[in-house]
Amino acid sequence: MSKGVVYLVGAGPGDAKLITVKGLECIQKSDTIIYDRLVNIRLLGFAPAKAEIIYVGKSPDRHTLGQSEINQLLVDKALRGKTVTRLKGGDPFVFGRGGEEAEVLSEAGIAFEIVPGVTSAIAAAAYAGIPVTHRDFTSTLAIITGNEDPLKEDSNIDWAKISTGAGTLVFLMGMANLPQITKQLMDNGRSPETPAALVRWGTRPQQRTLVGTLADISRKAASEGFKNPAIIIVGEVVSLREKLNWFEKKPLFGKRILVTRSREQASVLSEALEVLGAEPLEFPAISVAEPEDYRPLDLAIKDLTKYKWVIFTSVNGVEQFFRRLHYNNRDIRDLYGAKLCAIGPKTREALEKYGLIVDYVPNEFRAEEILKELQGKVAAGDKILLPRADIARKVLPEALTGMGALVDEVTVYCTLTGAGQTGPILDMLKTGEINVITFTSSSTVRNFVDMLGAADISSLLSGVTVACIGPVTAATAGELGVRVDLVAEEYTIEGLVSAILKYFNK
C-alpha cells in the first residue's frame, strides 16, 4: 500500500469564509479530517460524505488527545494510504504546533504540505476595528504567546525588549496570564496608559471586545468574566476602534438563527442572515427526494400539449419537473399551448431560467390568492396540470375542480424528514444559545417539532423568537403549540429576512 499525504491546513480565525481556497480544496478531497477546537464546524460540511472526521481539540482545562497522540494519529492514517487534512485554527505555524507535526511526518517519510491560514492575531483585531499597523501610529508588530508564565525565570520572552520594542503587541492564548502580562509590560517600560483591548471569539457573531489600558484591562476582564478564547492587543492602534468598528455594528450582530430549510436550499437564507451579522445554524428539518412512482408525471409529460394551465407552487417543483421533462427527451416546446402560473417571484425566476414567460403571479404568494385571481380565467373542462410535492395542501386542486376544471395533480418530489442533528440543537435551546428559529413551510414546522420530540414545545422555545415566512406556516406552528412572534409581509426569503430585521430594530 502506498503512503498517503497530509495537508497541514490553517482554518482561519473562526469565520468559515476566511478559509483559503487551497485549504477548502484540501477539505474537499480528504479521506480523513483531524480538526481542532477552534475550527468552525461549518467547514466540515465541505468534506466528502464518506470522510472520517476526528476531533482532537484542546481547551485550557482538557485535552482530547495529547500532542504526541495527535502526531501518531497523523502518521498512522497516512501509512494506510489516506489523504489527511489536519485542520487547525488560525495558521498552523503561528503557535499552532504545525512545525512539530511536520517534523514527525518528515521523519516518518510521509509527504506533507503546509497550507497557511489567516491568523487570529490579525483577523480578530481587524473584526474589532483595530488595524495592527497604521502609519500614523506604528509600523512594527509583535505576535507573542500568552501561554507562557510571564514570571518564570527562564522565560523565552525578553520582556525588557518586547515591552517597548514593537508598537503593537498581540498575545495569543493569554487570558489566564493577563494580570502577569500587563504587569511585566509596565514593569519593563510600557506606559500604564497604553490602550489595550481583548477580543473574544474574534470574527464570529459571538465576538466580544473589551477596551481599556494596560493599567485597568485586567480588572475590567475580571469584572466582565472575560475568558478564552481571546487575543490581547496592546498599542496606540487600539484607539482607532471607536472609528473603525464595523463588524459589531451590523444589525443582526450576535444573533444565532436556526435555519430549518432543506440542506440544498438553506444557503440562500443563511447567506442573507450572515451578511447582516447573524450566525446561521443550519438544521435541515426537511429533505427533498424523488417520487416513489414517476408514472403519473411521465404520463402528464407525454400529453403536455393538452393542458391549458400549468401551475407551479415552488422552486423545487419547477426544478424537479424540468429534470423529468429532459429525462423523457422533451423540452419547453411541449409547453407552447399552456399558460403558466407561478406562486411567487422566486418560482417565476426559476421558470424564466428556462426561457419561459410566466402569465400570472399572484399578489399574495399562497394558493388562496391564485384561486381568487383565476376566477373567470378558468373555464369548465379546462385541463390544468399541478406538479408539486406529495404533501402539498389540497386547497388548490379541490377549488379548481369545483370551478369545473380537470386537474391532474402529480407528485414531482417528496418531502421527507431532514437529517439535522437533534442533540446539539436541543442542548442549545435549553441553554438559551439560539435567538431565532425560522420556518419557511408547514413541513419544516411539523418535522422540527417531531424531530425534537419535546414534551412541552412551548416551554422549550419560550425564550426564542419564532419567525415564519407566511400565514399558512404560522397557522401550522400555532396548531402544534409553537408561539409565533413574527410573520413576513412578503412570503419570500427576502421578506422573512426583512421581517426579522424590523423586529429587532424595534
Averaged pLDDT score across all residues of the chain: 92
Residue 423 is predicted with a pLDDT of 87
Residue 367 has pLDDT above 70, yes or no: no
pLDDT at 327 over 70: yes
pLDDT of amino acid 262: 83
Per DSSP, the three-state class of 260 is coil
Rounded to an integer, the average pLDDT of 465-490 is: 94
Is the pLDDT assigned to residue 149 strictly greater than 80?
no
- The DSSP string of 166-229 is SSEEEEES-GGGHHHHHHHHHHTT--TTSEEEEEESTTSTT-EEEEEETTTHHHHHHHHT--SS
Can you tell me the mean pLDDT for 403-429? 89
**What pLDDT score was predicted for residue 450?**
92
Average pLDDT over residues 146-153: 79
- 88's CB contacts (< 8 A; 6+ apart) are 8, 9, 10, 11, 35, 36, 39, 96, 98, 117
Superfamily of domain 122-248: Tetrapyrrole methylase, C-terminal domain (3.30.950.10)
Quickly state the pLDDT bin for 366 (edges 50, 70, 90): low
Domain spans of the chain, in order of start: 5-118, 122-248, 256-285+418-505, 290-416
Clarify whether 298 is annotated catalytic.
no
205-249, pLDDT tens digit by residue?
889 999 999 999 999 999 999 999 999 999 999 999 999 999 999
- Check residue 15 and give its pLDDT: 92
pLDDT at residue 59, rounded to an integer? 67
Q: Pick the catalytic residue: 3, 58, 250, 377? A: 58
pLDDT digits (tens, 9 = 90+) for 76-96: 999 999 999 999 999 999 999
Question: pLDDT digit string (tens) for 285-325?
Answer: 988 889 999 999 999 999 999 999 999 988 999 999 999 99
**Residue 178, pLDDT score:** 96
Equal CATH topology for 122-248 and 256-285+418-505: no
Q: Tell me the pLDDT tens digit for each residue of 267-287.
A: 889 999 999 999 888 889 988
65 has a pLDDT exceeding 90: no
pLDDT value at residue 60: 61
Per residue in 337-361, pLDDT (tens digit) is: 899 989 888 899 999 999 999 998 8
Within 13 Å of residue 270, how many CA atoms lie on the same side as its CB?
19
**pLDDT exceeds 70 at position 384:** yes
Catalytic-residue membership of 58: yes
Residue 14 DSSP code: S
What is the band of 57 on the pLDDT scale with cuts at 50, 70, 90? confident
Q: How much of the chain exceeds pLDDT 70, in percent?
A: 98
Query: Could you give the count of Cα atoms lying within 13 Å of 230 in the half-sphere of its Cβ?
Result: 23
The reported pLDDT for the residue numbered 62 is 61
What would the pLDDT profile of 28-46 be if each residue is shown by its tens digit?
Answer: 999 999 999 999 988 998 9
Q: Which residues of 477-502 are buried (b: 16+ CB within 10 A; e: fewer)?
A: beeeebebbbbbebbbbebbbebbee
Give one DSSP letter per residue of 353-419, joined into a string. TTTPPPSB--SS-SHHHHHHHHTTTS-TT-EEEEEEETT--SHHHHHHHHTT-EEEEEEEEEEEE--
pLDDT reported for residue 311: 92
The pLDDT score that the predictor gives to residue 61 is 56
26 vs 263 pLDDT, higher one: 26
- Quick one: pLDDT at residue 203? 95
d(CA 196, CA 238) in angstroms, rounded, equals 6
Q: How confident is the model at residue 128 (pLDDT cuts 50, 70, 90)?
A: very high
What is 5-118's CATH number? 3.40.1010.10
Q: Output the pLDDT for position 163.
A: 96
> Burial of 203 by CB count in 10 Å (0-12 exposed, 13-18 middle, 19+ buried)?
buried
Q: Above 80 in pLDDT, residue 266?
A: no
Catalytic residue among 15, 31, 36, 91: 36
Indicate the pLDDT class of residue 1, thresholds 50, 70 and 90.
Answer: low
- Which CATH architecture is the domain 256-285+418-505 placed in? 3-Layer(aba) Sandwich (3.40)
Coil/strand/helix, residue 15: coil
C-alpha cell at 194: 497604553
Say which of 173, 175, 255, 382 is annotated catalytic: 173
Relative to beta strand 141-145, strand 168-172 is parallel
Q: Is 173 a catalytic residue?
A: yes
Instruction: State the CATH architecture for 290-416.
Output: 3-Layer(aba) Sandwich (3.40)
